[in-house]
Structure 1
Amino acid sequence: MTTVELRDVVKTFSSPKGRITAVDNLSFQAKEGEVLGILGPNGAGKTTTLRMIATIYKPDKGTIRVEGIDVLDNPLDVRKRIAYMPQEPDLIPSLSVEEHITYYLRFRGFSKKEAKKRCEEALKSFNLNDHRRKKPFQLSTGLKRRVQLASVLSAKAPVIFLDEPTTGLDPKSKRNTWKLIKDKIEDSGATILLTSHDLYEVEYLADRVIIINNGRLIAEGTPRDLRKRFGKTVKVIFEDPILISNTLMDEFMKVDGIKGIFQVSENAVEIKLDSLDRSINNLVRILASKELKIKDIVTTAANFEDVYLEIIENSGGDMG
């Protein structure tokens, strides 16, 4: 079942230079129970898109539906179905951890009894029991983020926005938080819209990702599918040491399908390819013509960060 759907959405803003198109005919879907990573450089249109889904901005054209409800026709009904974790740890200074979670749930419309019950469950499952009486000034950044997560995920909204959920955390705290998020969202059945500049985080948490640049969708798929589609790299190991001269490198780069070549050891190079089958055949032919003896050819997996950067570069985008 589709929970969030955008069709041909356009959003423009006024500027001293005229109208700026922030979102340009954008279409995508997020399904029930799916974690959808929304990626793109700064200024790509991610925040504008999320704000339109959350009914903060109105689209100029196109349609946005949350659980089948049009954001323009029934914005209040849409808001009831959304829970949002902001990027900043903005806890209420005067409330303890326990009070904050309870207040949040009461604000979401739960009865006093139900809010208290859900709060107790959240304190336990998010390992916050020992901190329940503490005020925000007594909490580390990691604990503040955990309180935010406990509040948002306990509301059990059909659609949850997680905006940079582990920003400011050290590597160990990040990984602990990722596991916590993963365990909770698998139980919740909610649709999660995740934005993050940490691509390892997105790869760990997201079932599927969309990449936006200049307001347009430029790629979508699972992180694994995108690695397979864009991250084609082979390592060629030679029998003897070699030196890839500029002349030889230029000759390699003229071969159809070869996008880059890098010497990684005295007898090995890594080569980026358009297509494994076609490009490897072309590569082997030029190596044979140079009488370079190949010991082995190994396909290497590009990491998701490399793939993301390649997709942005191919779209003509700024890394911003």
Structure 2
Amino acid sequence: MKALEFRGVTKTFKSGALGKRVTALKDISFQLGEGEDLAVIGPSPSGKTTLLKLIAGIYRPDKGDIIMFGKSIVKDLGWARKNTYYISQQMQLNKKLTVKEEISYFQELFKNPISRECMEMLEIVGLSEKDYGKRIETLSETQITILKVVLGLIKKPKIMLMDNALGEIDQKVIEEFTDILNSIEGLTIIMVDRNINLLNRICEKAMILVDGKLMDIGRVKDILSDYPYKYDVEVAWKHGVDENEIARLGYPYQKVGGIVRYYLKDKMELREIMEKIVGEMDKIMQAQVSGIDLEDIYYWKIYPKQLNEKNK
């Protein structure tokens, strides 16, 4: 069953004292099946948050239609609000309340009990039932982040919208947390997040937005069907290493912040560059190998001009 369909959706906003209209999303069309978890990626600003707020029924499009489980939410924003739950980085909890008081409030609000999966999520961050008496102000950032997700899941939404909501989650709990989240039946997740590891573990599909336009959507391997590389090696060079030394490894590379990503076409090239890296370890702080993932989509599709292919 189709969970969601955008039909030529455009959204604009007034900007500045003169009221000039700025286009946040332009003529967006796509479909998403029930249970297909989607990562929305792109530079900022590109319309990612606007997309999520349109789905949540917070915004109404200027043009086009949005169909959710067979019904137009443009004609009935209440349908969107009934079937979705939107979590953002800005969402605040009352820090003077206890965990139990927050859970009880949401149970009463949505007329649902807390599920086994939600209790398991809390347990992996050290919040078993005996800890529900703790005040929110005493919790760690990771515990608060997981609690926000749990409170949303009490609603039993069909679509969970997460807008950079998991930024404070501890890397140590990502695997267990995402395994539980992925096990919840009937839930479709659409998320924006800077943590590529999280996106890779949760989402099977990706959407690329650039300047408010839909650049691509599909499964990772399908989007990267023309991608010539099979592996990348991320190298953190020590301070003072110049461009010539970076290029000396002899493979296409791209600078991403303080990291240099080298791109390899096969296992032979991977072995060769690792041998060269071993020979340069006095100038390198760290090197890490990975296969094709959402990060490759981001840098291959969105920032291709930054790829130095002189040594290809």
Report the TM-score, using the length of structure 2 for normalisation.
0.73
Q: What do the CA deviations read for 1:192-222 (whole angstroms, capped 9, x no partner)?
A: 1111111222112101010101111112222
Code of the aligned partner of 2:96: S
* 1:203-282 pair list within 5 angstroms: 203-230=200-227, 232=229, 262-264=247-249, 269-271=250-252
Tell me what 1:105 maps to.
107
- Of 303-312 and 36-45, deviating more is 303-312
Runs of 4+ in 1 over 4 A off after TM superposition: 296-303
- The equivalent position to 2:196 in structure 1, one of 189, 196, 199, is 199
CA distance in 2, matches of 1:154, 1:199: 26
Q: 1:119 to 1:310 in 2, by over 3 A?
A: closer
Tell me what 1:180 maps to.
177
TM superposition shift of 1:161: 0.9
State whether residues 196 and 202 of structure 1, in contact with CA within 8 Å, keep that contact through their aligned partners in structure 2: yes
**What is the aligned residue count?**
257
CA distance in 2, matches of 1:206, 1:9: 23
- The equivalent position to 1:37 in structure 2, one of 36, 39, 44, is 39
TM superposition shift of 1:234: 8.3
Within the alignment, does 1:47 sit opposite 2:37 as a pair? no
CA distance in 2, matches of 1:155, 1:12: 30
Tell me what 2:118 maps to.
122
Tell me what 1:148 maps to.
148
- The equivalent position to 2:73 in structure 1, one of 49, 71, 74, is 71
Q: 1:35 to 1:315 in 2, by over 3 A?
A: farther
CA distance in 1, matches of 2:147, 2:7: 35
State whether residues 35 and 205 of structure 1, in contact with CA within 8 Å, keep that contact through their aligned partners in structure 2: yes
Code of the aligned partner of 2:48: K
Report the TM-score, using the length of structure 1 for normalisation.
0.71
CA distance in 1, matches of 2:184, 2:177: 11
Q: 1:169 to 1:67 in 2, by over 3 A?
A: same
CA distance in 1, matches of 2:121, 2:167: 21
Q: How large is the RMSD of aligned CA atoms in angstroms? A: 3.0
* 1:8-19 pair list within 5 angstroms: 8-16=8-16, 18-19=20-21
* Structure of larger gyration radius: 1
Q: 1:200 to 1:91 in 2, by over 3 A?
A: same
State whether residues 22 and 214 of structure 1, in contact with CA within 8 Å, keep that contact through their aligned partners in structure 2: yes
State whether residues 121 and 180 of structure 2, in contact with CA within 8 Å, keep that contact through their aligned partners in structure 1: no
State whether residues 121 and 146 of structure 2, in contact with CA within 8 Å, keep that contact through their aligned partners in structure 1: no
Tell me what 1:283 maps to.
none
Tell me what 2:265 maps to.
none
Q: Any idea what SS the aligned residue of 2:93 has?
A: coil
TM superposition shift of 1:120: 7.2
Q: Any idea what SS the aligned residue of 1:209 has?
A: strand
Structure 2 unaligned residues grouped into runs of 5+: 233-245, 254-267, 272-289, 307-312
TM superposition shift of 1:19: 2.0
Give me the identity figure in percent.
Answer: 27
Structure 1 unaligned residues grouped into runs of 5+: 236-260, 273-295
Tell me what 1:240 maps to.
none
Q: Any idea what SS the aligned residue of 1:188 has?
A: coil
Within the alignment, does 1:312 sit opposite 2:302 as a pair? yes
Q: Any idea what SS the aligned residue of 1:232 has?
A: coil
CA distance in 2, matches of 1:12, 1:100: 36
